[in-house]
């Protein structure tokens, strides 16, 4: 049975909301800070990922290694440890809570402190000022990072309760988030409650296909495009889905004279790290990079906008080069037609075909590699997926140390108005604290 948040805690939250977010009229900002703030999280995107992406995008016919959008906007780095009770290595919930509220908490905590008391997020505070708010993610929209900016529950796995709070909680009489785009049908359309219907009854436009992103007519939108998380970028019919959703969200939010606060998350960089799947990781990085490139253009024409980019932690212990060899060969990754996971599912379903595997991988397997995959195919899709990743790791000379998180510092990027505030070494809680200050708190 799912552990429910205590009634006393909900009462505390209501009191907290009434103190920090008045129900009569929005607070007036007391700052010359940016009108719009866009917080971007590359989930799991430790420093090896941005370096690897530079090499992945490099033109090998030139002498120089060309910089990427990440290189252009790097300003510092952040430590990521959770509250002492959870040691030195954070999960996405504690890290998301730190980035959203400026407070350390235990692993698993969503918008609550170590005593499980609610914490106000920067998104909630922005909403109390009359700004519009948005969430754009490639996971389900009630996953750990986005939930940390909106919900207040004891544990990240309380997905249904988090989804309920997205509808039930109010600031100034309005729902906390105006635009929500990502996955999550399983949690919003349930036997006990259909939140998509409830949001529509409250004036939200509901969409469930990427094709509808171009026909958003309202400034309050719920868009869900998958049961849970979206497909891998390598497999999605819209490989730049984060960029496409971000553009649509900004268009909807940009009509408020008070400005907006938006969270954007490249969620599945982390999932690729957990899976030790370098091909999927680089495709997810590419989607995020295209999103940032668009945001740079947006800020160029909207100089009163601030964009902050960081990771919540690093995932997988990813290393560029392995087995003592001073070599990494990312060109192997550029010709993949589908993810290794997709290839494994298809092969198990339709029968083993080395010709089709070669075509989807974009290179010809050796006899030894073929024999390895043939043997794995007999054990099922999980074994074949693992074997395919092992082949790709061998071809690229990619290394991994874990299927979990690591405790390394993560890069911080920023551009736009007041971006210099985020320069240098900082803690992840400092990011939220500085956003609060820029909002006038």
What fold, for 7-318+403-438?
Alkaline Phosphatase, subunit A (3.40.720)
Active-site residue, selected from the candidate residues 18, 20, 24, 92: 92
Owner of token pair 């006899």: 367
pLDDT at 32: 82
pLDDT at 27: 58
Strands of 305-310's sheet in order across = 205-207, 221-224, 179-183, 132-140, 260-266, 36-42, 305-310, 410-416, 74-79, 424-427
What is the per-residue pLDDT across 338-354, written as a single tens digit (0 to 9) for each? 999 999 999 999 999 99
86 catalytically annotated? no
What average pLDDT score do residues 82-102 get? 98
pLDDT at 25: 53
Confidence of residue 240 (pLDDT cuts 50, 70, 90): very high
CATH 1.10.60.40 domain range(s) in the chain: 320-399
Owner of token pair 């399983």: 186
CATH 3.40.720.10 domain range(s) in the chain: 7-318+403-438
- pTM confidence score: 0.93
Q: Does the pLDDT at position 92 exceed 70?
A: yes
CATH number of 320-399: 1.10.60.40
Token code pair at residue 245: 């959703």
What is the per-residue pLDDT across 249-295, written as a single tens digit (0 to 9) for each? 999 999 999 999 999 999 999 999 999 999 999 999 999 999 999 99
* Mean pLDDT, the chain, whole residue set: 93
């Amino acid at each position: 049975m799912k552990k429910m948040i205590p009634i006393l805690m909900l009462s505390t939250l209501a009191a907290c909301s009434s103190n920090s977010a008045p129900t009569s009229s929005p607070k007036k900002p007391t700052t010359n800070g940016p009108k719009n703030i866009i917080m971007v999280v590359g989930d799991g995107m430790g420093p090896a990922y941005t370096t690897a992406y530079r090499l992945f995008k490099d033109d090998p016919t030139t002498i120089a290694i060309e910089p990427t959008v990440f290189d252009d906007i790097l300003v510092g780095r952040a430590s990521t440890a959770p509250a002492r009770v959870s040691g030195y290595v954070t999960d996405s919930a504690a890290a998301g809570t730190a980035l959203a509220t400026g407070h350390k908490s235990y692993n698993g905590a969503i918008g609550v402190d170590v005593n499980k008391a609610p914490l106000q997020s920067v998104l909630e505070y922005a909403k109390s000022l009359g700004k519009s708010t948005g969430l754009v993610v490639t996971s389900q929209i009630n996953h750990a990072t986005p939930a940390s900016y909106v919900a207040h529950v004891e544990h990240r796995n309380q997905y249904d309760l988090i989804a309920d709070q997205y509808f039930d909680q109010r600031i100034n009489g309005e729902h906390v988030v105006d635009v929500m785009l990502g996955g999550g049908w399983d949690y919003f359309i349930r036997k006990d409650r259909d939140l998509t219907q409830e949001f529509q009854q409250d004036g939200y436009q509901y969409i469930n296909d990427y094709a509808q992103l171009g026909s958003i007519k309202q400034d309050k939108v719920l868009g869900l495009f998958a049961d849970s998380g979206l497909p891998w970028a390598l497999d999605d019919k819209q490989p730049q889905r984060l960029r496409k959703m971000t553009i649509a969200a900004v268009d909807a939010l940009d009509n408020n004279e008070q400005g907006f606060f938006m969270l954007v998350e490249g969620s599945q960089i982390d999932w690729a790290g957990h899976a030790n799947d370098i091909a999927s990781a680089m495709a997810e990085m590419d989607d995020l990079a295209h999103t940032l490139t668009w945001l740079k253009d947006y800020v160029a024409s909207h100089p009163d906008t601030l964009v902050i980019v960081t990771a919540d932690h690093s995932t997988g212990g990813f290393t560029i080069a392995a087995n003592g060899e001073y070599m990494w060969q990312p060109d192997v990754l550029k010709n993949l037609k589908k993810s290794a996971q997709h290839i494994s599912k298809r092969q198990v379903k339709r029968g083993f075909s080395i010709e089709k595997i070669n075509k989807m991988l974009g290179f010809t397997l050796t006899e030894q590699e073929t024999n390895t995959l043939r043997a794995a195919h007999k054990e099922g899709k999980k074994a074949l997926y693992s074997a395919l990743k092992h082949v790709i790791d061998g071809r690229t000379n990619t290394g991994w140390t874990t299927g979990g998180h690591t405790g390394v510092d993560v890069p911080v990027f920023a551009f736009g108005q007041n971006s210099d505030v985020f320069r240098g070494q900082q803690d992840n809680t400092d990011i939220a604290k500085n956003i609060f200050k820029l909002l006038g708190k």
